[in-house]
Structure 1
Amino acid sequence: MRFHQDREQLERILDAAHNAALQFLHSLAERPAGHTPEPLPPDALPEEGLGAQEALACFRRKYEAQLSGSAGPRYLGFVTGGSTPAALAGDWLVSSYDQNVSNDGDSIATTVERETLALLRTLFALSDDFDGVFVSGATQANLVALATARQWAFQRLGHDPSEEGLWNMPRIPVFGCVPHASILKALSILGMGRKAVEYVPCLPRRQAIDPAALAQRLAATGGKPAIVIASAGEVNTGDFDDLETLASLCQTYGAWLHVDGAFGLFAACDPSRSHLLRGLNAADSITTDGHKWLNVPYDSGLIFTRHVALQEQVFKAVAAYLGAGPDLLHRTPENSRRFRALPAWMTLMAYGRSGYQALVAQSCLFAQTLGQSIEQSTHFELLAPVSLNIVCFALRKTDADQRDRFLEALKRDGEVVLTPTLFAGKPAIRAAFVNWSTTERDVQRMIEALERGALQITFHTTNSRED
């Protein structure tokens, strides 16, 4: 059997994988930041199997060239960090150790997860009454947070949805200004519905909730349970809600405050920006993403709450073989859980508070540099002040089709990947700095690529009008 043959060749197989990884990682500085995939013939399931080394070689021949440089320094799409060297080493070991981090009984891995959560509480300056758990990403984290909030809301109405379901129950209003798409997805999954969101006006020229408008909405609930969604780092501009004021309103009107801090929570690392999170400790639930500013591989979301007993009512899993301990599986939708805390533990221990303070400051400085270049350019306009690590801008006098052609031209150029968005109804572009390996030279290369791409679009647009 191929299994047994590969066991005898394990060292060679891992050496081949190691060499492949190093070649890819060393290429990131010059590798195209993005790649539009070309269609390829489908794979056929081999009858006898190729063996691990030939399967790896086959993958590299067929697919590797079309992988993006998303782990590299000039990928500014989707708020994606890379993997620090320590996080990468940790992630390799996760697969080797292959621990199921659900029960406390037979592995120290669950202790490592709890210790990692404590390290993160320190990094984010969260009080000790917050407890947490690792999940697969921000969408799952928001789902867990909102499921816990749903449990709280219906219990206030004398109903236990975790046991009795949602049949014939009233809609719980969810108030937000610009909730992330993952919030809407989570509400759909939870049976609360995307239409549960009642959009509150934003502050003028901001992507932040108008507290006065929210106060009116909360007052109109008549003391019935409601959920408020706040942003710590809004996805298009990096804007922050006034968490302190929102927390006070939620306490006054008896609402649940959920803070979506997918990347903005890391502002806590930098003393010059930590004031943006004033009031955070009064939240009921908080979510963030490890694959963003923590710079660990994908599959790393975090949910913190001050109501872990409610969380465990929703997610408890009862079976004779699972035991009855205070296990982490009772806090997440998953029973089987990979050891995803290890890369986070490795990178936190390797680089410490000062390392992440420097990373946040550097990312924000690079965003400011790009923002200043956008303001000085004749081809672009800056749509919002650069308040953190996000730059939101647009091509002047272009529509969505031209913007998309511009972004595709940038991808073909290979120097930078950006993502499209809408801002105040205008086709816009978003750049997000979070990668530990980005340098000043990378930023200059991006700026030059933007100008080249804009000239190309202008040239084609002018010619098409003349034609």
Structure 2
Amino acid sequence: MDELRELFRRAADHAADYRRTLVERPVGVPVDQAALNEAFAVGLPAAPTPPEQVLAELVAAAEPGLVATAGPRYFGFVVGGASPAATAADMLAAGWDQIAFNAVTSPAAVAAEAAAGTWLKDLLGIPATASVGFVTGGQAANTAGLAAARHQVLADAGWDVERRGLLGAPPVRVLAGAERHATVDRSLRLLGLGTDAVTQVAAGPQGTIDPEALAAALRDGGTGPTVVCLQAGNVNTGAFDELRTTCDLVHRHGGWVHVDGAFGLWAAAAPSTRHLVDGVEAADSWACDGHKWLNLPYDTAFAFCARPDVHAAAMSYAAAYLVGSGGVPAGADLTAESSRRARGFAAWAGLRELGRDGVAVLVERCCALARRFADGLTAAGFEVVNDVVLNQVLVGFGDDAATDRVVAAVQTDGTCWVGGTTWRGRRLMRISVSNATTTDADVDRSVAAIRRLARRTSEGMLHSRS
């Protein structure tokens, strides 16, 4: 046991040293992927290797290929670094090695999910009676929510999809905005509905679903099984669909409303942004990530459903050997996994560390930093093309080729990391501010680097033409 203690201590020390250096570590640097692959691709030894040697070899092989996504100047993909308490709790979860299938396999894991789920619903404005499945990410959360939707709209049409499948079932129509997230389409594929089931509804200037176009689509589509996918936080602009009016509209037509709120649902947790999700409680299911704005470890997200019985009917299963199954839906009853990580421990710890006020401060500060980005880049003469209502900033640097050159230069430079995207037919820099440790100084340093690199790439093009 002394050897095990020392091994775990070494692993924790390596992790802590890495986190300590994030402030000044290059965020992203060019990597020789072939060399990195070779470092890992050693032959599998015939004899066992001492654990301490394995750990040292892993650190040596991985270090050159680590991206500082947990650091304060990583602004890609709407991800935040895991908070200290949540990270420590995740370490404990690995050490405890619990199976969060049900209250028999791990009473503590189920209790942590129940408590964290109650806090989450309160923060996000979701009805207290809703069920919560702790899933891997936004993809799994959307799939669980849409599975519940599929169950209910077909049950309303007299069809038991869990027993009879989809062959011969009434066709399910899915209405979704033109700028929905791609995971919605993949969920429909996984659920057997297919992307042909989607009636694409026009989007407004900031990418939100057009309520009048939605009303027309509902009116013209008849009375068959209908699911409507709404967005809380457009993946590019951060804009929000009008949840209250659209939920009421859909319900008057007998449809189910699913809200993809991977990062945008967190607007509900802060006084200055809560108005953006007005009416969120009227939906039927919701998807939200924890490893984005809540700054929890990866592999943490939440699938909420206003009808726990529907949620369980769509996702659960039973078998004679599964002791403890068949009671109040919990754990694996609400997800597509059986051998589940006890991810509720990290969620509980992260929420406990921040508290209600801390979550609000995190959301509001990231929004303020996004506006600081926008102001700084606008002052430098670049074009911010979206209304910065949340934590997303879209920036153009002239034509598409020029923008791509600037994005590539920033990613190579290492001062910060930003993504590229295509929105409304234009290539743009996409900046997402989601990390609790980001400061004004980090934003100013990043703006200065972007200005410097944009100038350098522009001068380089002029020289190449001369």
- Name the TM-score class by shorter chain: over 0.9
Matched, 1:392 2:391: no
Residue identity matched to 2:384: L
Give me the whole-angstrom Cα distance separating, in 2, the residues matched to 1:373 and 1:108: 48
Please give the residue correspondences for 1:370-385 in structure 2 after superposition, counting only pairs within 5 Å. Answer: 370-378=373-381, 380-385=382-387
Tell me which amino acid in the other structure corresponds to 1:29: V
Q: Secondary structure at the match of 2:436?
A: coil
Q: Partner of 2:440 in structure 1?
A: 440
Q: Unaligned regions of 5+ residues in structure 1, if any?
A: 1-6
> For the residues of structure 1 that align with 2:101 and 2:27, how far apart are their CA atoms?
37
Q: What does 1:278-289 align with in structure 2 at a 5 Å threshold? A: 278-289=278-289
Q: Which residue of 2 aligns with 1:172?
A: 172
C-alpha displacement of 1:36:
3.7
Tell me if 1:24 matches 2:18. yes
Give the ranges of 4+ consecutive aligned residues of structure 1 lying more than 4 Å apart after TM superposition.
Answer: none
Counterparts of 1:398 and 1:424, CA distance in 2: 12
Q: CA deviation at 1:96?
A: 1.1
Name the SS for the 2:74 alignment partner: coil
CA distance in 2, matches of 1:148, 1:114: 20
Q: Which amino acid aligns with 1:93?
A: L
Mapping of 1:182-331 within 5 angstroms? Answer: 182-203=183-204, 205-323=205-323, 324-326=326-328, 327-331=330-334
Taking the aligned partners of 1:316 and 1:358, their CA distance within structure 2 comes to: 37
Shift of 1:408: 2.5
Distance in 1 between residues matched to 2:348 and 2:71, nearest whole Å: 22
What is the CA-CA distance between 1:281 and the residue it aligns to?
A: 0.7
- 1:344 equivalenced with 2:344 (yes/no): no
SS of residue paired to 1:227: strand
Determine the structure 2 residue equivalent to 1:364.
367
1:23 corresponds to which letter in structure 2?
Answer: D
- Give the SS at the match of 2:29: coil
Partner of 1:4: none
Preserved contact between residue 31 and residue 64 of structure 2 (Cα < 8 Å): no
In 2, Cα distance between the equivalents of 1:295 and 1:439?
15
**Contact 2:173–2:224 (8 Å) recurs in 1:** no
Q: 2 CA distance for matches of 1:43 and 1:195? A: 46
Percent of pairs with identical residues: 35
Q: Distance in 2 between matches of 1:260 and 1:315?
A: 18
| Alpha-carbon separation, structure 2, partners of 1:391 and 1:272 | 18
Q: What are the Cα deviations for residues 169-195 of structure 1, in whole angstroms up to 9, with x where unaligned?
A: 343221122110111111111111122
Measure how far apart 1:156 and its partner are. Answer: 2.0
CA contact (8 A) 2:404 2:428 kept: no
Whether the 8 Å contact between 2:174 and 2:226 is mirrored in structure 1 is: yes
Alignment of 1:51-200 (within 5 A): 51-106=50-105, 107-177=107-177, 178-200=179-201
Q: Give the 3-state SS of the residue equivalent to 2:411 in structure 1.
A: helix
TM-score by length of 1: 0.95
Number of equivalent positions: 456
Q: Which runs of 5+ in 2 are unaligned?
A: none
Cα-Cα RMSD: 1.4
Contact (CA 8 Å) 2:386, 2:394: kept in 1 or not? yes
Counterpart of 2:397 in structure 1: which amino acid?
Answer: L
Cα deviation 1:262-298 (Å, max 9, x = unaligned): 1111111111110111111110001100001110100
User: 1:3 maps to which residue?
Assistant: none
